[in-house]
Structure 1
Amino acid sequence: EDDIIPRGYRHGDDLRRVHWRSTARYGELMVRREEQPQRARCTVLLDTRQVAYAGAGPDSAFEWAVSGAASALVHMLERGFAVRLLTDDGNAVPGEGSDGFAGSTQESADSAGLMLDTLAVVGHSDGGGLSRAHDVLRGSNEGLLIAFFGDLDEEQTSVAARMRQRAGAGVAFVLDSARWTGDSSPAGQAAAGRAEERLRQLREAGWTAVPVPPGAELPALWQLAGQLRADTESAGNGGPTGFPGGWS
């Protein structure tokens, strides 16, 4: 009884949970905190590096990535995950708790609003790498990692591969400039070939890596990611677990 940590009464709380001793002490209605089960966690990573995207405007790859990150974080919050938004420069939102994840169910709406507000004004970073984001993923088995990447060179593909080792599962949506700008020149075709190689390397590192063509819809790509994960598991390759489907 002495170890009870009460909180203030909220509309809708069960009156059977009122903690009368604390109510008398604080002079307001206090209730026992419900024991919160461990919530599955998800990090939504947005690559904002200017060097990773070509083109501008509402139909650009960067704007698709921003919109995709917003949709993903709302989708995961709706499914009861504790979510944080992380960018390539290492900044995490909401960052309220010690682990940087959104808190209880009651806080989900506020957390979603804060993250969406951040994405509404997000711009390109001047950084050239993903190492700061990698450093934030310092723990092991940090839950589901959903990443939206622009162009990845060999070095950044290696960093992304190590990110996957710090997550329980990883889904990467990759937007390469050659495809988004429609560059059919020899240089563009070579770039497209390198992009395919990067996808292969990410998959070998354990990512469920999905290429994003211009005009693609995220729910369809999400379903594709789920199918790729299922195929990996059925092949006995230890694919990522806990992939939430049911996009609405």
Structure 2
Amino acid sequence: MALLDKLPRHLFTRRGWGMLAAGAFALAAAQVMGRRDLLTLALLLLLLPLVSLAGVRLVKPRFRVYREFNPSPVETSAPAVVSLAVARTGPGSGQVVMEERLPAQFGHPPAFRFPSRAATGGTSRYEYHLTSRYRGQFRIGPVTAEFTDPFGLSLHRRSIDDGDVLTVTPAAVVLPATGLAGARGNDGVTATRVRANPSDDDVMTREYRHGDPMRRVHWAATARHGALMVRQEESVTTPEATIILDHRSGAFAGGPGTSSPGLRGHDGHAPATSDTFEWSVVAAMSVSAHLAERNYGLRLLDAGGEPAFLHSPSSPEPAAEEYSGPSGLQSIAESLAAIHLSGPLHPRRDGVLPDKGGRAAEHRAAGTRTHPGIDQGPPAFDDHLMDKLSAHRMRGPLIAVLGRITGEEAAALAPAAAYGTDAFALLAVERPAEFQHVLEVLRQGGWRAVAAGPNTRLSAVWGQFGQEPALPVAPASEVRRGAGVAK
């Protein structure tokens, strides 16, 4: 028995190996004793397992697998219910042992028998739970089935589907309320007049409608138009917030050589990341949720002024910059799920990735990191970013989630505070005390800047913005665009 347990199980069962052993013994006995009947028995014992092995590999039962995640996508550390429905679509009968393949971080893969006891209409349904500590995209499945012949002599394990991708998004941290929007207020709305005509009276009036109160009648406009006119109603416009998300490999400790055990794509590729970058991803998700709850429209850019998620494999719309409402926040969460550190590459200004023989574009389409030495882009915080910020100046707060930046980079970014109603900078670094000079450069430009380590509570860092007053912001006309610093 111990010897049979050591034999490979992917070919024959213990019964099959036992029959082969008996056949070999009968063949030896027939040769020694010269008995033809023993020779016939030996051939039967040897051929039957081999024929059964060929049969289970040639005859392939067909199945249909439907897999659903609830919720999908799911946040880190939150449970997701996986529902499986398996149905046989071809001829066959008998029980089949099945197993769901899972990434190692999810623990032991669940196993089950088909058909189940509660099978209805030929479809068996199963359910299990998954929880991930890491963000990313993970291949769940495929379902593997272990088939055997009617005599139970041989085994064959194969996949019956391709699996599905589970997207795990970073969970947002609840942030304390702070003064975000300056003159726009903290409620995320601002009242404006709807102007339909060039006249000063007309821009504030409209025709009387049944039910309008008489106290709103505008008598001067009524006399001029010869019809009863009332003062125009105020409407609500949505303020905007711009978030700059730095994901350059050189800005975060560890660089491209560091990879997270959880941030692994469904193709098995482990993108570069670090503890400080993971902290900044959670910060970007939390700030986005904090602002979206206050009715802000969001615009996310990278350090070069391009869409922040242009290189994220999990982004539903990689080229999108603006997001609004619950659907926009959901898109941001999905885009942050698999975002990773990138090299110094930047896309060209026409939005097409730098291409050396087509390889760079192919790598991005596959969700992999291109070589950092190919076609380096312009420096961070340059005129392209400033132009993007200037196009939406004073429409809401400006938040920068940064890593390790130099004093020169801080001086280039500092004047950007003039384009927001308020400016906040979060630096995720290993040793915050070493970046006081960088913070001072940003503060001199009008930023409220804080440096935090990967173990610092994000809510405590965000709360400091409500305590520290912002320094005066230099007018945009004083920004020296070419050098990126204030005159």
TM-score bracket for this pair, using the shorter chain length:
0.5 to 0.7
The letter of the residue matching 2:428 is L
Aligned to 1:112: 329
**Number of equivalenced pairs:** 182
Structure 1 residue aligned with 2:322: 101
Match of 2:417 in 1: 164
Alignment partner, residue 129 of structure 1: 380
1:208–1:126 Cα change, 3 Å: same
Corresponding residue for 2:408? Answer: 155
| C-alpha contact 2:239 2:395 (8 A) present in aligned 1 | no
Give the TM-score normalised by structure 2.
0.34
Q: What's the Cα RMSD here?
A: 2.9
* Cα distance in 2 for residues equivalent to 1:145 and 1:124: 22
| Partner of residue 222, structure 1 | 462
* 1:207 aligned onto 2:447: yes
Higher gyration radius (CA)? 2
Cα pair distance change 1:118/1:44, threshold 3 Å: same
Residue in 2 that maps onto 1:186: none
- 1:45 is paired with a residue of what secondary structure? strand
AA matched with 1:170: A
* Structure 1 Cα separation of the partners of residues 407 and 462 of structure 2: 26
- Calculate percent identity across the aligned residue pairs: 28
- Equivalent residue number for residue 54 of structure 1: 253
Quickly say closer, same or farther: Cα 1:134–1:48, change in 2 above 3 A: farther
CA shift in 2, pair 1:205/1:137, >3 Å:
same
Residue identity in the other structure for 1:130: F
Inter-partner Cα distance in structure 2 for 1:135 and 1:154: 22
- CA shift for structure 1 position 46: 0.7
Following the alignment from structure 1 to structure 2, what is the Cα–Cα distance between the partners of residues 142 and 176? 29
- 1:26-45 paired onto structure 2 within 5 Å: 37-45=236-244
SS across alignment from 2:236: coil
Whose strand proportion is higher, 1 or 2? 2
Structure 1 residues 227 and 197: CA distance shift in structure 2, 3 A: same
Q: Whose RCO is larger (CA < 8 A, sep 6+)?
A: 1
Retained in 1: the 8 A contact 2:401–2:427?
Answer: yes
The structure where helix makes up a greater share of residues is: 1
Amino acid paired to 2:389:
L
- Matches of 1:60 and 1:102 in 2, distance apart? 27
* Cα offset, 1:149, TM superposition: 0.8
3-state SS in 2 of match to 1:42: strand
Is the CA contact 1:84–1:94 (under 8 Å) kept in the aligned structure 2?
A: no
Where structure 1 has 5 or more consecutive residues not aligned to the other structure, the ranges are: 4-33, 181-191, 240-248
Query: Runs of at least 4 residues of structure 1 off by over 4 A?
Result: 93-96
- Contact 1:45/1:85 (<8 A) preserved: yes
Amino acid at match of 1:101: E
Q: Matched residue of 1:226: which SS?
A: coil
